[in-house]
């Protein structure tokens, strides 16, 4: 059984909500190790009636800290201790709701990158059924980075969607091959040349809800705007819908539709989507929102376990090895 380390001190609601998310995950049958300040974690566990193991970490990296400096100076920070547990093989993966920059730095420098990876990328699941990357790890990219993202995203799509040959699209401003910046134009040529990647060409923002490809690659600047815009649009449309049906004359209809409305609300709830993967490091790392509560943490554990059992890092390494000389 997979063992997942949780950075109990990362996030706006740490450690209580993070610890309780770990407790919930353990009740779902997963092996959990909490990493953080034992004196603050133990009372929460006692109140929850849980005896989850705790690996003590005396320091915490705050959102205001410079990630690179903090990783060097705070050697006993909870995210650093968790990363070292992955590196040593004592756990199979880690989850953090803390500073994304610190988590990326800890994973890159302590766990290490997979052979051939130039830049790890953040990958998220779009509700319509696509893996989208990069979500913000790399604000500027080279064409070869986008091609590597395609290989990494395809490995994740195989594990998550059970697709043998995932299709890959390149996010762009039009469907034609010559569209976009030099970045997209050159990346298009590289993706076309990869024999083991099922490249379907450019996809536009309007194609995302239609799931025209299993994987969508882009630079981190575009991807971060894309995913946050999508989350905001979903909230806006759901709010419009509730406003439209809240008139008195629709009261009976709304009551009848209440189960379907709640199901839709849960489907659009970001906490149900299990966080985002940091792909390209030699281990499973899942990042969640800083505002994560217990539900988000417990679903992130499911996400991490799936990646461990699906051997995602090994599949990425295999895909990049097949691409040697082409990237």
- Percentage of the chain beyond pLDDT 90 is 72
Question: Which positions ≥6 away from 238 have C-beta within 8 Å?
Answer: 264, 265, 268
Q: Give yes or no: residues 155 and 55 share one domain.
A: no
Q: Give yes or no: residues 246 and 301 share one domain.
A: no
Alpha-helical runs (H) found in the chain: 16-27, 38-48, 67-73, 78-88, 100-106, 143-161, 182-193, 220-245, 251-268, 294-309, 312-322
Tell me the two tokens of residue 266.
């849960």
Nearest 10 degrees: CA dihedral of 21, 27, 30, 31? 80
Tell me the sheet residues that pair with 168: 199, 215
Position 273 pLDDT exceeds 70: no
Tell me the sheet residues that pair with 4: 32, 93
Please indicate whether residue 327 or residue 155 has the higher confidence score (pLDDT): 155
Q: Give yes or no: residues 151 and 108 share one domain.
A: no
CATH number at residue 242: 3.40.718.10
Q: Considering 249, 270, 291, which residue would you say is the last residue of a domain?
A: 270
Across the chain, mean pLDDT equals: 91
Which DSSP symbol is given to 257? H
- Cα gap 82→62, rounded to integer Å: 16
Please indicate whether residue 63 or residue 274 has the higher confidence score (pLDDT): 63
Averaged pLDDT for residues 46-57: 96
Q: Give yes or no: residues 289 and 250 share one domain.
A: no
Flag whether 40 is in a domain.
yes
Position 271 pLDDT exceeds 70: no
- pLDDT at res. 209: 80
Cβ atoms within 10 Å of 254's Cβ, excluding its own: 13
Tell me how far the alpha carbon of residue 142 is from its chain's centroid.
Answer: 22
Flag whether 183 is in a domain.
yes
- Cα gap 36→194, rounded to integer Å: 43
- pLDDT at res. 103: 95
Averaged pLDDT for residues 45-62: 95
Flag whether 49 is in a domain.
yes
Q: Give yes or no: residues 143 and 34 share one domain.
A: no
- pLDDT at res. 199: 96
Q: Give yes or no: residues 44 and 113 share one domain.
A: yes
Q: Considering 244, 270, 296, which residue would you say is the last residue of a domain?
A: 270
How many structural domains comprise the chain?
A: 2
Q: Give yes or no: residues 213 and 159 share one domain.
A: yes
Flag whether 315 is in a domain.
no
Flag whether 327 is in a domain.
no
Say whether the peptide bond before residue 15 is cis (omega within 30 degrees of 0). Answer: yes
Question: Which positions ≥6 away from 181 have C-beta within 8 Å?
Answer: none
Per-residue pLDDT tens digits for 79-110:
999 999 999 999 999 999 999 999 999 999 99
- pLDDT at res. 272: 62
Position 268 pLDDT exceeds 70: no
Question: Which positions ≥6 away from 259 have C-beta within 8 Å?
Answer: none
- Cα gap 29→19, rounded to integer Å: 16
Cα separations in angstroms, 275 against 1, 129, 164, 271: 21, 15, 23, 7
Position 177 pLDDT exceeds 90: no
Q: Give yes or no: residues 110 and 133 share one domain.
A: no
Flag whether 275 is in a domain.
no
DSSP 68-120: HHHHHH-TTBHHHHHHHHHHHTSSSEEEE-S-HHHHHHHIIIII-BPTT-SS-
Q: Give yes or no: residues 140 and 97 share one domain.
A: no
Q: Give yes or no: residues 169 and 150 share one domain.
A: yes
Band of the pLDDT at 269, cuts 50, 70, 90? Answer: low
Q: Give yes or no: residues 265 and 284 share one domain.
A: no
**pTM for the structure as a whole:** 0.91
**CA 158, 127, 174 angle in degrees (round to 5)?**
85
DSSP 137-162: S-SS--HHHHHHHHHHHHHHHHHHH-
Flag whether 95 is in a domain.
yes
Question: Which positions ≥6 away from 223 have C-beta within 8 Å?
Answer: 122, 132, 133, 134, 135, 136, 171
Per-residue pLDDT tens digits for 12-44:
999 999 999 999 999 999 999 999 999 999 999
- pLDDT at res. 263: 75
Which DSSP symbol is given to 134? -
231 is in which domain, residue-wise? 125-270
Band of the pLDDT at 207, cuts 50, 70, 90? Answer: confident
Flag whether 72 is in a domain.
yes
Q: Give yes or no: residues 54 and 112 share one domain.
A: yes
């Amino acid at each position: 059984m997979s063992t997942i380390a949780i950075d109990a001190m990362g996030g706006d609601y740490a450690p209580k909500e993070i610890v309780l998310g770990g407790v919930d995950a353990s009740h779902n049958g997963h092996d959990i190790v909490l990493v953080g300040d034992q004196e603050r974690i133990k009372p929460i566990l006692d109140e929850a009636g849980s005896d989850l193991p705790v690996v003590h970490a005396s320091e915490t990296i705050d959102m205001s800290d410079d990630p690179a400096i903090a990783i060097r100076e705070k050697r006993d920070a909870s995210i650093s201790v968790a990363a070292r547990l992955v590196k040593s093989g004592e756990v199979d993966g880690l989850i953090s709701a803390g500073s994304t920059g610190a988590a990326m730095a800890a994973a890159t420098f302590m766990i290490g990158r997979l052979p051939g990876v130039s830049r790890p990328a953040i990958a998220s699941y779009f509700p319509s059924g696509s893996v989208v990357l990069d979500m913000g790890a790399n604000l500027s990219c080279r064409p070869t980075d986008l091609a590597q993202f395609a290989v990494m995203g395809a490995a994740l799509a195989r594990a998550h969607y059970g697709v043998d040959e995932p299709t890959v699209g390149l996010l762009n401003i039009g469907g034609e091959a010559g569209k976009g910046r030099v970045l997209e134009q050159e990346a298009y040529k590289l993706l076309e040349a990869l024999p083991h990647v099922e490249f379907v060409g450019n996809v536009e923002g309007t194609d995302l809800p239609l799931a025209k490809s299993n994987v969508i690659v882009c630079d981190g600047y575009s991807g971060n705007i894309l995913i946050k815009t999508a989350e905001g649009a979903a909230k806006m449309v759901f709010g419009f819908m509730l406003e439209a049906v809240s008139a008195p004359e629709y009261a009976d209809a709304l009551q009848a539709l209440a189960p379907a409305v709640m199901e839709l609300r849960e489907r659009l709830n970001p906490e149900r989507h299990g966080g985002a993967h940091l792909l390209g490091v030699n281990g499973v790392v899942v990042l969640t929102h800083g505002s994560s509560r217990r539900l988000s943490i417990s679903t992130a554990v499911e996400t991490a376990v799936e990646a461990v059992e699906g051997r995602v890092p090994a599949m990425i390494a295999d895909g990049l090895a097949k691409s040697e000389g082409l990237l």
